[in-house]
Structure 1
Amino acid sequence: MEVECIPFKETGYFSQLICDYLEQKKELAPYYNRFPLPGNFSDQIKEKSANYPKAHRKVLVGSLNEQYKNVEVSGATKKNILALEKENSFTVVTGHQLNLFTGPLYFLYKIVSTINLAKKLNAQFPDHQFVPVYWMATEDHDFDEINYFNLHGKKVLWNKNVSGGVGRLSTDGLDEVFGIFASELGNLGYTDKLKELFQKAYLENQTLAQATRYLANALFGDEGLVIVDGDDKNLKRLLVPYVQKDIFQHTPYEKVTKTIKNLEKISADYTIQVNPREINYFYLKDDLRERIVLKKGKYHVLNTQLDFTPEEILKELEEYPERFSPNVVTRPLYQEVILPNLCYIGGGGELAYWLEFKSYFDELGVTFPMLMLRNSALLIKEKQSDKTEKMGLTVAHLFMKQHSLINKKIRDISNIDVDFSPQKKVLEEQFKQMYELANKTDKSFLGAVKAQEVKQKKGLDKLEKRLLRAQKRKLKDHVTRLTELQNELFPNQSLQERQLNFSEIYLEMGEELIPMLLNTLDPFSQNFTIIKNK
């Protein structure tokens, strides 16, 4: 096994906002609490200790014990759940949707990053205990985002008409998906283990939340991972005061709207991830999850006949807190209210929207967590690594856009110089003299000189492109092999981790996969990791 690293910003797959955050640009300092460096966790511990109610620990552990009631729990996870009652214990958290059979490969990287961070903090602060937590997004209702995974370039899809929070969905119908999955696996590699894992998770559990808990527990339970389902009445009760401030005072809406405007002033390249609403909660009941909106003095649940007066919705909140489901703006707040959490580990898109939230956390008096970019990795098989070397490429080259990579390769192997940069420089020098002449004689000719320069440069560009196309035809075999290799490693010209399911790698590595990731990925790295199987 060989490991290489390249900076995230050099991959071309991470936004300007995240690259600037990783470089700790001073303009972004107001939008996060502390940068996730080992030396900054001591102050984060002190702040969270002073700001996390002791009573919340008892509620949290009670809910976790109830959620794990019918689950085979590892000794490490039991120990971590019990530890959460003690004031010297803290969590580090990642969250993810309930994607079918984990969905994209980066599901594993998120959890591995979280487990490894907890291990490093346990070593750094032996008088404390740090618990890795996976927060299941059970209340999401975007079924089309989670009802499939990719295997061998094919989509394994769960067709079902659904509504409401996905965690409550029945697993009925997944036996058909299992049949498709098993057929596609065939008898390659570690197929029996994968089939057994899918079968036990999805065919022996009644809801998607239960199935996902089983799966994550089977993969990471030995590492002490604690899995939290926020769709819980007792946990929701801790959120009630904050729901009131959202519904009646619109605190998140006001603060986040202002933050977005300020971020846009810093850079036009900063893409805003989420926009707040005046009310950032859904009404959740049975197979219903619809937005709550203020309409003609009443609180109306969209696409229903449900209306509440201010007094009625307050009573509903007090009696049935589980019916109020946070959206993407308030879900992070919910997490930080109920957990003694220090750090959230997420992808670039997630951290981008977390950076919008600090001001409203401050306003509500809730400690804002440290934000850590999860590990990203590219797994390269031995044959793929050999091909890369034979083509005279580095792995970093393969991150280039495909047309740029092809052009680079053609120039490298061609016996004709297909780069007209020297000619363009000569042309610029010639026109420099013409500009000087026009300035001395008749300045009205400057426009004509400029037009002629542009025309001739365009002519050179066209000739260069035509020559490249001719060379591509001549060197078609090289181009074909190059594009095939890049398409294998970057399916759909996207990062491997966003396309492949873990089962595809598991077919080759089996139970060595997760230990390998745990031993290789460093949450403090701040680099994209390339793992070559040698």
Structure 2
Amino acid sequence: MGQVNSTIKFQDTGYFSKIMSDYLEQKEPVEDFYGNFPDIEGFRKQIEEKSKAFDVSTRAVLTSCLMEQTEQLTLSALTKKHISLLKESNTYTVTTGHQLNLFTGPLYFLYKIISAINLAKELKKNFPENNFIPVYWMATEDHDFEEISFFNFKGRRIQWNKDVKGAVGRASTQDLGKVYGEIDAILGENKNAARLRTLFTQSYLEHGSLTEATRFLANELFGDYGLVIIDGDDKGLKSLFNPYVREELIKQTSYKEVSKTNEALGVNYPIQVNPREINLFYLDDNLRERILYEEGVYKINNTDLVFSQEQLLELLDSAPEKFSPNVLMRPLYQEVILPNLCYIGGGGEMAYWLQLKAFFKKVSVPFPILLLRNSVLLIDQKQRKKMQGLHISEKEIFLKQNDLIKLKVKEISDLNLDFTEQRKNLQAMFSDLKALSDKTDKSFTGAVLAQEKKQLNGLDHLEKRLLKAQKRKYREIVSRITKIQQELFPKQSLQERQANFSEFYEIYGDELIPLLISMLDPLKLEFDLISP
């Protein structure tokens, strides 16, 4: 494949928040809310910090649990080696996490894991005396099934209709035959389409739960690169987290620390997540409900379950698997059980991680490096030619649709559609009138200001009417601009947030993932535009 790869700054896309832009630029308002920055020097410091804080006994439990979780998988030699290496004190992980979206969900599922794979390789080059393992953390304990129960394929929504209660990872996949029928009808007849049919069948129709299906699928796609897949819904792993759950139940440490951070962070940025007094759920079959502390006892929300403190702590010791961290406690759970250096996520994830540094410090767990995952716009050769024919630059294609059309119509029009000079002249004239009224009769100032506003509004109206007329004149070009942008930004959103990997796998097949791995640099911290 002839390939084109270029990048633009995340900040220039218009799709990333102010807090993410400030983080990438290491601006002063955000600097107190993260630890080491994702560059080689930052990783050097992080390795030193984590090496002093991670216990060898934890490694033994981690390795044992991973071997048990993956015993039904056909693991690559590299993944087996990576799991074994986790016993060694010079082995570290770089981790990304994702929900158990049907058939991987949005395209960025790939980019998260590729970021982890490539970061592990880059760190090995720079620190050859250590080992670095890419990890995918499956969000098996989430309970928002509606959010993960569909994916988009060629503009169609493929929906799994099911009533799921409790942790989504435990949901049965027995009724996914109907969904497969929808996919089968849409897919083409080439070998790549056949491979996608096999992937879905083997993942979802030959495994009993959503956890098992997702683990199989991720291993099929990335096993050759040594990806280690972990399920936190595990009694052995949760036994390692027991002391932190105990502190949360008794002292509500996360609520106190995150609340203080939110107050400081909220001065400059919107707050992503607000803490609960207890940031834990009670987990059982078909049940995942908040643990509440009321009237001196612990209650399980929406149930009749009530525990004294002694009873709940006894349950924690005997059945730690019944305690499930929420969005603010899960990062701590991850960092306690993994020799982790870095968490890789999207902008929304990074924003709530930035709320947690003080909490981590309070419970004496090293805060990981935060890395904004790779983002990609895949543009095929025909689409790139269309952009060139319309004189749309790579940066311009990210503009909001109305802004892009307005810009291009102004460029091709034989009329001057920009009334900026007229506005300046009008404002200068009214400035003179205001000065005159101040010297003669100040009671006229209000009338002058009102007339200025009226005249400026009139200019705005005329400019809009003229632009509208020119859009009609160049409607064919406007239509072409609209079409190409809708192809690349479905629903006027980033492609990676809407499309599913299968749409591109059907075209590029087994070359897709190796191509992306070869072209993406996780530490460049820029948005990639790739034409396979």
Q: TM-score, normalised by structure 2?
A: 0.99
1:57 aligns to 2:56 (yes or no): no
Report if aligned partners of 1:104, 1:498 keep a CA contact under 8 Å in 2: yes
- Does the 8 Å contact 1:36/1:372 carry over to 2? yes
C-alpha distance in structure 1 between counterparts of 2:27 and 2:189, whole Å: 51
**CA deviation vs aligned residue, 1:321-345 (integer Å, no higher than 9, x gap):** 0000000010000000000000000
Which residue in 2 is equivalent to 1:256? 258
Deviates more, 1:509-518 or 1:472-481: 472-481
Show the counterpart of 1:197: 199
Aligned counterpart, 2:213: 211
Q: Residue 271 of structure 1: CA displacement?
A: 1.9
Q: Does 1:487 align with 2:492?
A: no
1:82 corresponding residue in structure 2? 84
Return the offset for 1:53.
1.4
| Bigger Cα displacement from structure 2, 419-428 vs 149-158 | 419-428
Aligned length: 530
Structure 2: 5+ residue runs without aligned partners?
A: none
Q: Which amino acid counterpart does residue 150 of structure 2 have in structure 1? A: Y
Which digits, 9 at most, give the CA deviation of each residue in 1:276-304, with x for residues without a partner? 10111111011111111012211111111
Letter in 2 for 1:313: L
Correspondence for 2:327: 328
Hey, what's the Cα distance between the residues in 1 that align with 2:307 and 2:369?
38
Rounded Cα–Cα distance in structure 1 between residues aligned with 2:373 and 2:319: 35
- Give the secondary-structure state (helix, strand or coil) at the position aligned to 1:86: coil
Q: Distance in 2 between matches of 1:156 and 1:401?
A: 27
* Greater mean alpha carbon deviation, residues 155-164 or residues 128-137: 155-164
Q: Which runs of 4+ in 1 moved over 3 A?
A: none
Where structure 1 has 5 or more consecutive residues not aligned to the other structure, the ranges are: none
1:238 partner SS = helix
Deviation at 1:455, TM superposition (A): 0.8
Give the aligned partner of residue 362 of structure 1: 361
Map 1:7-22 to 2 at 5 A.
Answer: 7-22=9-24
Partner residue in 2 for 1:277: 276
CA–CA distance in structure 1, aligned partners of residues 438 and 302 of structure 2: 70
The Cα shift of 1:444 comes to 2.4
Does the CA-based 8 Å contact 1:135-1:227 persist in structure 2?
A: yes
User: Which residue does 1:307 correspond to in 2?
Assistant: 306
Cross-structure match for 2:409:
410
Q: Which amino acid aligns with 2:524?
A: S
Task: Give the corresponding residue for 2:472.
Answer: 473
Distance 1:232 1:211 in 2: 17
1:432-443 superposed matches below 5 A: 432-443=431-442
Structure 2 distance, partners of 1:446, 1:76, is 78
Indicate the residue corresponding to 1:166 in structure 2: 168
Q: Give 1:434 deviation, angstroms.
A: 1.2
Whole-angstrom CA distance in 2 between matches of 1:244 and 1:25: 37
How far does residue 188 in structure 1 lie from its aligned partner after superposition?
4.9
What is the CA deviation profile of residues 358-391 of structure 1, one whole-angstrom value per residue up to 9, with x for unaligned ones? 1010000000000000000100011110000001
Question: In 2, are the aligned partners of 1:407 and 1:468 still within 8 Å (CA)?
Answer: yes
1:113 is matched with which residue? 115
AA in 1 matched with 2:131: Q
Q: Secondary structure at the match of 1:51?
A: coil
What is the letter of the counterpart of residue 216 of structure 1?
A
1:130 to 129, 132, 135: 132
- Map residues 183-194 of structure 1 onto 2, 5 A cutoff: 183-188=185-190, 190-194=192-196
Instruction: State the SS of the aligned residue for 1:304.
Output: coil
| TM-score, scaled relative to structure 1 | 0.98
SS of aligned partner of 2:84? helix
1:264 Cα deviation after fit: 1.3
Alignment partner for residue 143 of structure 2, among 138, 141, 145? 141
Write the distance in 2 (CA, Å) between the matches of 1:69 and 1:188.
33
- Corresponding position of 1:6: 8
- Of 33, 49, 69, which aligns to 2:71? 69
Q: Secondary structure at the match of 2:52?
A: helix
SS at match of 1:395: coil
Q: Which amino acid aligns with 1:38?
A: I
Alignment-derived partner of residue 380 in structure 2? 381
Give the distance between the partners of 1:451 and 1:56, measured in 2 at CA. 72
SS of 1:216 mapped into structure 2: helix
User: Using the alignment, how far apart are the partners of 2:403 and 2:50 within structure 1?
Assistant: 48
1:318 aligns with 2:317: yes
What's the offset of the Cα at 1:189?
6.1
Tell me by how many angstroms 1:415 deviates: 1.2
- Residues 189 and 508, structure 1, Cα contact 8 Å, conserved in 2: no
Q: What is the DSSP-based 3-state SS (H/G/I as helix, E as strand, rest coil) of the residue aligned with 1:121?
A: helix
Aligned partner of residue 170 in structure 1, secondary structure? coil
Report the Cα distance in structure 2 between the residues aligned to 1:161 and 1:2, rounded to whole angstroms. Answer: 44
Q: Note the C-alpha offset of 1:27.
A: 2.3
Tell me if the contact between 1:104 and 1:500 (Cα under 8 Å) persists in the aligned partners: yes
Distance in 2 (alpha carbons) for counterparts of 1:301 and 1:190 = 48
